[in-house]
Chain A
Amino acid sequence: MNLLLLLIVPLIAAIGIMLSPRVSALRQISLAASLVQLVLVGWLLFQMLNTRSVSAQPLYFEQVYQWFPSWNIQFHIGVDGIAISMMILTALVVLAGVLVSWQESILPKEFFFLLMFLSLGAYGFFMARDIFTLFFFLELAVIPKFLLIGIWGSGQKEYSAMKLALMLMAGSALVFVGLTGIYLEAHSFDLFVLSATHFPVAFQYLFYPLLFIGFGIFAALFPFHTWVPDGHASAPTAASMFLAGISMKLGGYGCLRVASFLMPDAAIHYAPVIIVLSTCAILYGAFVTLLQSDLKYMNAYSSVSHCGFVMLGIGVFNTTSVYGAILQMISHGLMTALFFAAIGMIYYRTHTRKIDELGGLLAKLPFISTVFVIAGLCSLGLPGLSGFVAEMTVFVGSWEDKSLWVRSATVLSCASIVVTAVYILRATGKVIMGPIRETFVALSDAVWYEKMAAIFLLAGIFVMGIAPFLLQYIIGNEAATIVNRGAQVLINK
C-alpha cells in the first residue's frame, strides 16, 4: 500500500471541506475521510503482519524521494510497528473527534478543515523516516492548535492559545538546534543513516538535552508542562482530544525515536535526571489534580501525571520500560480522548464543568455516565482496561533496574495510583452518583454520533486491556531495537 495515501486523504478532505457549500456536506466529507483513514491504517497493519511472518524487516512500505539533494535531504517515509500503532491511535482519535464535533455551529468549515490538517500532520510525523520531514510535521500542527483553541475555545482561550503556541514553538526551537548539531555531525537527516553513525560522547552530552527537552515540552515534561492544563482546558472538545490524545504523543515518540535512539550514551547518562523529572511530574500532576474543581482541568492535570509514566519508561530505558512507555502513550491517548469526549458531552448538555455543580447524571445520561466511569477506571488502572496494562509494564520495567533510587522512584510513582483513585472516584461519585439536580431533569442521553465516537475509543481500550499480546506482537521487536543500542553502550563500558 502506498503510505502517501494517508497524507493525501486528509489533504483532499481539507480542500473538499473548504470548497463544500453546505454544512452537512462538510460533516460527511470529514466523517468519510476519517473512516477512510481508519480503514487505511487497518489495512496497513494487516499487510504488515502478513509480510512480517515471512521476513522480519525493520521498515515497511518504505518510499524515498529526492527532495533537496544539495543538502542530502530525502522525503523518506516508512512505518514500523511503533509507527503503525501510533497511527491507529491517530485514526481512532480523529474519527472520534469528528463525530464529537458533529454539531459544531461556529465556523464549522474552518473547524473541520483544521481538524483534518492536524491529522495530516500527525500521520506525517509518525511515518517520517527523515528527521527534517519529521520536524516539518511536528511544527505543522502548532498553528492549527493555536487557531482551534483561540477561536472555538472557552475561558481564557486567547491566553491559553498563545501560551501553547509559544511554548511548543520554543520546544521546536530546541529541537531545531539539536537537529542542526546532528546534521553537521553526520551530514544527513535520514534516521537509517543516523542510526549507523556513532556520535561522539561529548557531542551527545551537549545535544541530547536539547532534543529531549525540545520534544519533552510537547510531551509535558516537568517543569515544561504548564501549557498543558491551560491549553487542554480552554480547547474545544475535539481539539482537547487531539491535543491530549495525539499531540502529546508526538513529543514522547520524538524523545524515543530521535533523542534516545540516536544518542544512547547520553540517554543512559541523563537517565537519573529524566527519572527524577518524570517522577515529579507523576506525583505533582496527581496531587494537583486533587485540587481541581473543573472536570477539564482535572483531566488535563491527570494527563501531566500519566504522561510522566511515558517519560519514566523512556528514562529507565530498558526493553520492558520502553515497551511500557509506548503502551502508555497509546493507552493514555485513547483514554484521555474518551474522557474529554465524555466531559464535552456533559458540558454540552449541562453548560457547566464544575464538579460541585454537577450530580446524579447517571439517571438521565446513562450512556455518557457509563463512558465517563469507564474512562475514569481506565485512568486509575483497573485490570482489563488499557491503563492497567501500560502502567504495569512501565512499573515492571523500571523495577528491573536494580539501583535503589530507581526502585524508590518506581515505588513513589506507584503510589500516585492511589491519588489517582481518589480524584477519579471522587469526581465520579459527585458527577455521576447521588441525587439528580432538578436543573438536569430534562437532559437527554447521547445521540448516535456521540455514541459512535465513544464506541470506537472504547473498543480500542478494551482490546488493548484484554489482549495486550496483540500489541506486544506489533511493537515488541521495535522497542527492543531501540533499547539494544543502549544495551550495547553498557556492554562497551
Chain B
Amino acid sequence: MLVYEWLILKQEIFLSLLIVGILLLWLFRDLSNETWIRIMNIFLFVNILIGFTGFHYGKLFGDTFLSSPLILFEKVLLSFALWLISLFSYGWLRKMKNLPEFYLLLLTSLLGMYIMLSAGNLLLFYLGLEMSTLPLAGAANFEFNSKKSSESAMKLVLSSAFSSAILLMGISWLYGMMGSLDYAVISTQIGHSPLSILAFLLILSGFAFKISAVPFHLWTADVYQGAPVAVTAFLSVVSKSAVIMVMIPFLYQTFEEKIDVWYPALIMLALASVLVANLFAVQQLNLKRLLAFSSIAQVGFLLIGLSAHSQTGATSVLFFLIIYLFSNLAAFGVVSVLSSDYGKEDIQQLSGLYSTHPFLSWVLALSLFSLAGIPPTAGFFGKFFLLLSGANKGNYWVIAIAAINMVISLYYYLRVVKTIFMNHPVTHMENKPLAFPVKFALIICLLGILVVGFLGGFYEHIFQLLNGIN
C-alpha cells in the first residue's frame, strides 16, 4: 500500500491532529478566550481549504472507507458550516468557561460525520453516526448553570440512544441475513424477504430520528430551545445535512432494491413533516422553537426531493442543503446575537427591532424569506427544484400539498418580519456594535442567500458530481 493512498484520509487526519493539538495546547498554555477563538477560526478555515487539495478517489481498509469528489464536496460543506457557526457565536463563546471543550466536542462530532459520509460499510457508518451524536449531548449541556441546557442534553442523549438502538437492531438483522455489512454486498443480495423489509424499515426509522422527520420529531423543539444557539445551529444544519447526504447514496444505491418500500415511506414522512411542523410553528412564540419547527418542515421538503430517485432529485437535495445552510445559519446567527448580547429569544421582544438594528433585521428577514422560498432569495430556487423533481413520478397531489404548506409557512415567517418591521418597540434596545467575526459571518450568509440560487453553473457542478448516483 502506497502512502499517497492514505491521503484520501487527509481531512480525518487533520481533524484528529487538531483535536489532539487542542488538548495539548490546553494542557500547556493558558490562553485567553479571544486567542482561542482566533486560533480555532483559522484552523477551521484551513480545514475547509484542505478539502480542495486533490486526492479525490480511493478506497481503504477493504472498501470500508471510500472517497470521491462528491464525498469531499460534502465534507467541505459541513466544515464550512462549522466555521460559520464558530464565527457568529463569537459573542457567546467569549463569555464561556472551558472554551476549548466546546471546540473539542464539535470537532469530534464533525470527525464522526466525515467517517459516516465515507463509510462503505454499515458498521463504520454506525460508528461515525454515534461519534457525531454523543459529543453533541455534551455540547448541548455547555451552559452548565442553565437547567434548560441540561434538560436538552438529557433529551438529546435519550432520544438518540433510542434511535441508535433501533438502527442497530435493523443493522444486526441485516447482518444475520447476509453475513456482511458492506454496501456493495447489501445492494446486490438484499432480496425481498419480509425480514429484510422490516430491517430496512428499522434503519429508515433510525434515519428519520436523526433528521427529526415527523413522527420522530418530538425531541427536536425542546432540545433546540434549551441548547445554546451555536449548538442548536450545529444540530439543525450540520447534523441534519450530514445524515441527509448519507441518505442519498444509501437509498439510491445500497437499498435501491427496496424502492417500493422507501418511496411511500418517504412520501408519508415528508407530508407528515411539512403539515405537522407548519401547524405547530404557527403557534410558537419563541424564535428558537419556531426555527426548530421550521427546520422540521424543511426536512419534509427535502424528503419530497429525495423521493424522486433521480440525478436531478439528488442534485436538488444537495443544492437545497447548501441554501438551507446559508439561510438557517443566518437566522441562527441573528438569534445568537440577540440572545447573547440582549437576552432576547421571544418573537414579541423583537418588536420594532428594525428601528434600532437595521442590519440584523434585514439579515433575519432575508433568511426567513429564503426559508419560505421567496425570490430573489436562494430558497426559491431550492424549493422549486426540490418540488419539481419530487413531482417527476406524476404525483401532483404531493406537490399540491407541499405548495399549500408553503403558504402556511409564509404566514409564520411573515409574522416575525411583521413584528420586526411594523410593530413599535416595546423596550428600548441600545445598539451594541457587532463584533467583526459575527458581522463577517452574517455577510457571508447574506451573500449566500442572495447569490447561490442564481448560480446555474454551480447547480450543474453538483449535478456532475452526482453522476452515476442513480
Which A residues form the contact surface with B (CB < 8 A)? 66-71, 73, 132, 136-137, 139-140, 142-143, 146-147, 150-151, 157-158, 161-162, 165-166, 169-170, 173-174, 176-177, 180-181, 183-184
Contacts and interface: CB of A to CB of B under 8 A. Distances in A.
Interface in B376-413: 376, 380, 384-385, 387-388, 391-392, 394, 396, 399-400, 403-404, 406-407, 410-411
Contacts of B399: 176-177, 180
Given A140-B376, A147-B417, A174-B403, 9 more contacts: A70-B459, A71-B312, A132-B384, A143-B369, A158-B418, A158-B422, A170-B407, A177-B399, A184-B392
A443 B353 CA distance: 38
A69 B421 contact: no
B380 A162 contact: no
B406 A173 contact: yes
User: Which of A68, A73, A150 has the largest count of B CB atoms less than 10 A from its CB?
Assistant: A68
A67 B387 contact: no
B468 interface: no
Given A180-B391, A184-B391, A184-B392, A173 B459 contact: no
A177 B396 contact: yes
B185 interface: no
A181 B391 CA distance: 8
Contact of A71 (B385, B403, B411): B385
B407 A180 contact: no
Given A70-B312, A165-B410, A142 B421 contact: no
B153 to A, nearest CB: 38
Nearest to B453: A136
A165 B312 CA distance: 31
B375 interface: yes
B433 interface: no
Contacts of A183: 388
A231 B113 CA distance: 49
Interface residues of B, number: 34
Contacts of A166: 407, 410-411, 414
Contacts of A177: 396, 399-400, 403
B403 A139 contact: no
Contacts of B312: 70-71
Interface string B455-466: 010011001000
B388 A169 contact: no
A139 B369 CA distance: 11
B407 to A, nearest CB: 5
B418 A162 contact: yes
B456 A173 contact: no
A375 B422 CA distance: 33
A409 B312 CA distance: 48
Nearest to B454: A67
Contacts of B411: 162, 166
A183 B391 CA distance: 10
A139 B374 contact: yes
A136 B421 contact: no
17 contacts: A68-B456, A68-B459, A69-B456, A70-B463, A71-B385, A136-B380, A139-B374, A147-B421, A150-B421, A150-B422, A157-B422, A161-B418, A169-B407, A173-B403, A173-B407, A176-B384, A180-B387
A71 B305 CA distance: 14
Contact of B414 (A73, A151, A162): A162
B121 interface: no
Interface of B: 311-312, 315, 369, 374-376, 380, 384-385, 387-388, 391-392, 394, 396, 399-400, 403-404, 406-407, 410-411, 414-415, 417-418, 421-422, 456, 459-460, 463
Contacts of B418: 150, 158, 161-162
A70 B394 CA distance: 19
A88 to B, nearest CB: 25
A69 B455 CA distance: 11
Nearest to A183: B388
Contacts of B396: 177, 180-181
A94 to B, nearest CB: 18
Give the 10 A-B residue pairs with the shortest CB-CB distance, closest first: A173-B403, A67-B456, A150-B422, A180-B391, A140-B375, A68-B456, A70-B463, A169-B407, A170-B407, A136-B375
Nearest to B422: A150
Contacts of A161: 418, 422
A137 B376 CA distance: 8
A139 B406 CA distance: 13
B394 A139 contact: no
A70 B311 CA distance: 9
B223 to A, nearest CB: 31
A283 B400 CA distance: 32
A71 B422 CA distance: 40
A140 B381 CA distance: 12
A116 B418 CA distance: 21
A117 to B, nearest CB: 9
A136 B378 CA distance: 11
A246 to B, nearest CB: 17
Question: Which of B369, B410, B411 counts the most A-chain CB atoms under 10 A from its CB?
Answer: B410
Given A162-B414, A173-B406, A70 B376 contact: no
Contacts of A139: 374-375, 380
A147 B374 CA distance: 14
Contacts of B407: 166, 169-170, 173
Contact of A180 (B369, B388, B456): B388
Nearest to A210: B400
Nearest to A152: B422
A110 to B, nearest CB: 9
B311 to A, nearest CB: 8
A69 B315 CA distance: 13
A110 B459 CA distance: 32
Nearest to A75: B456
Contacts of B410: 165-166, 169
Contacts of A170: 404, 407
Contacts of B417: 146-147
B414 A70 contact: no
A103 to B, nearest CB: 21
A340 B249 CA distance: 58
Contacts of A157: 422
Contacts of A147: 417, 421
Contacts of A169: 406-407, 410
Contacts of B376: 136, 140
A151 B385 CA distance: 32
Contacts of A140: 375-376
A136 B385 CA distance: 13
A425 B160 CA distance: 72
Contacts of A165: 410, 414
B284 to A, nearest CB: 17
B404 A173 contact: yes
B455 to A, nearest CB: 10
